[in-house]
Amino acid sequence: MTLLSGKIAIITGASAGIGYATAKLFAREGAKVVVAARRQAELNTLVGEITEAGGSAVALAGDVKDEAYAKALVDVANSKFGGLDIALNNASTLGDLSVSVPDLTLSSWDDTLATNLTSAFLGAKYQIPAMLKRGGGSLIFTSSFVGSTAAFPPMTAYATSKAGLIGLMKVLAVAYGPQNIRVNALLPGGTDTPMGQTFANTPEALEFVKGMHALKRIAAPEEIAKSALYLASDLSSFTTGAALLADGGVSINRT
């Protein structure tokens, strides 16, 4: 029996990287998935790959900063598949890495927090009631080791937003634990994604980032997806309020 048989999941930031890999893995494990991102063409490709492999998926493109979109994703999960059991709020942006705090514009700051943090709040606002109707569920936020165990000065808004997700997660875990909703944060290390490649954008930078990790490499998106699967499935039935590091040892490495 597959780990997510009979489950229904929403995954944001699904057009590439961790979200893309997680959507495919969840579908292989039996979940029906609603995939979300801004880029319709990439979502269509993802749905095609899932369907061809025998899974069930539907795409809805939009902006995670828009509250109406958060509601619409849940409406699609309800209308197409009959409810919601799992949500991976994964959409993210690095923001403006070219300036220090005195030169960071308020609009750039606001956009990064809206994309990374407020979108997760908006997702949870509509996902939780849907999960309650199913008797519980698993709510996951993609945070980061950045802002939790490490700091990079150019990533001011990014680190703040990712740290904020951990605070949001803890509050929701306590508030909804009695109603069988588990809430956790997933903290990846360096991962080979389009977003990650914009930071480690030269061979020298990539080798530096690899060297930061105890494993001396970065993750494939599929590796992070497996940790998301653990949090989504009953394998983690007694895990809530956790900031789960899947970071290749970057948090502990000093060599």
pLDDT tens, residue order, the chain (255 aa): 799 999 999 999 999 999 999 999 999 999 999 999 999 999 999 999 999 999 999 999 999 999 999 999 999 999 999 999 999 999 999 999 999 999 999 999 999 999 999 999 999 999 999 999 999 999 999 999 999 998 888 899 999 999 999 999 999 999 999 999 999 999 999 999 999 888 788 999 899 999 999 999 999 999 999 999 999 999 999 999 999 999 999 999 999
Cα first-last separation, the chain: 42
Alpha carbons 135 and 158: distance in angstroms, whole number: 34
Alpha carbons 86 and 137: distance in angstroms, whole number: 6
H/E element holding 140?
Answer: strand 137-142
How far lies 96's CA from each of 60, 151, 157, 173, in Å?
Answer: 27, 15, 8, 31
* The architecture CATH gives domain 8-246: 3-Layer(aba) Sandwich (3.40)
Active-site positions read 158
> Are 199 and 94 in contact, with CB atoms under 8 Å apart?
yes
Locate the domains of the chain by residue range. 8-246
- The CA R_g of the chain, rounded to the nearest whole Å, is 17
